[in-house]
C-alpha cells in the first residue's frame, strides 16, 4: 500500500511498462486505505447495496487509473465486517489473475 509519484511512474510508462493494482472497491468509490470497512459502514448507515473489487492501471492519483476488470459484490444485511472481508478477499484472488492476464494480453 504505497502511493507512487509521477517521478516514479513517468520513466516506467516511457519504457512501455504497465503497473496494475488490486483495490477492494469499484471505480470511483472508496479510494485509498480501509475501503472494505468504509463500504461495509456505508451499507449499514446509508443503505449502500453493493461494493466490489477492481484491478486498475496505476496512475499518480490514488485508485483512479482505468479499470481493467471489476466485479460487484452484494452487501448482505446483518453481515459482519469480517464476513464481508472474507468474501472480498476470495473475489480478489481470482480477479487479480484475470486482471493480470488482460493487462498482459493473454
Q: What is the Cα–Cα distance from 35 to 68, expressed in whole angstroms?
A: 19
Q: What is the Cα–Cα distance from 39 to 104, expressed in whole angstroms?
A: 30
pLDDT digits (tens, 9 = 90+) for 57-106: 999 999 999 999 999 999 999 999 999 999 999 999 999 999 999 999 98
* Contact indicator for 54, 66 with CB cutoff of 8 Å: no
pLDDT digits (tens, 9 = 90+) for 44-66: 999 999 999 999 999 999 999 99
What is the predicted pLDDT for the residue at 2? 77
pTM of the model: 0.90
In the chain, where are the structural domains located? 6-104
What separation in angstroms does the CA of 12 have from each of 5, 52, 77? 11, 28, 44
Q: Give the catalytic positions in this structure.
A: 23
Please give the distance of CA 99 from its chain centroid, rounded to a whole number: 11
Q: Extract the C-alpha cell encoding 61.
A: 492519483
Report the CATH superfamily, name and number, of domain 6-104. Formyl transferase, N-terminal domain (3.40.50.170)
Amino acid at each position: 500500500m504505497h502511493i507512487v509519484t509521477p517521478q516514479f511512474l513517468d520513466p516506467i510508462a516511457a519504457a512501455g511498462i504497465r503497473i496494475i493494482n488490486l483495490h477492494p472497491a469499484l471505480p470511483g468509490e472508496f479510494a485509498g486505505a480501509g475501503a472494505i470497512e468504509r463500504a461495509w459502514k456505508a451499507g449499514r448507515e446509508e443503505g449502500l447495496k453493493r461494493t466490489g473489487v477492481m484491478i486498475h492501471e496505476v496512475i499518480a492519483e490514488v485508485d483512479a487509473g482505468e479499470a481493467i476488470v471489476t466485479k460487484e459484490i452484494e452487501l448482505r444485511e446483518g453481515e459482519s465486517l469480517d464476513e464481508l472481508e472474507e468474501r472480498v478477499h476470495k473475489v480478489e484472488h481470482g480477479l487479480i489473475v484475470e486482471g493480470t492476464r488482460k493487462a498482459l494480453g493473454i
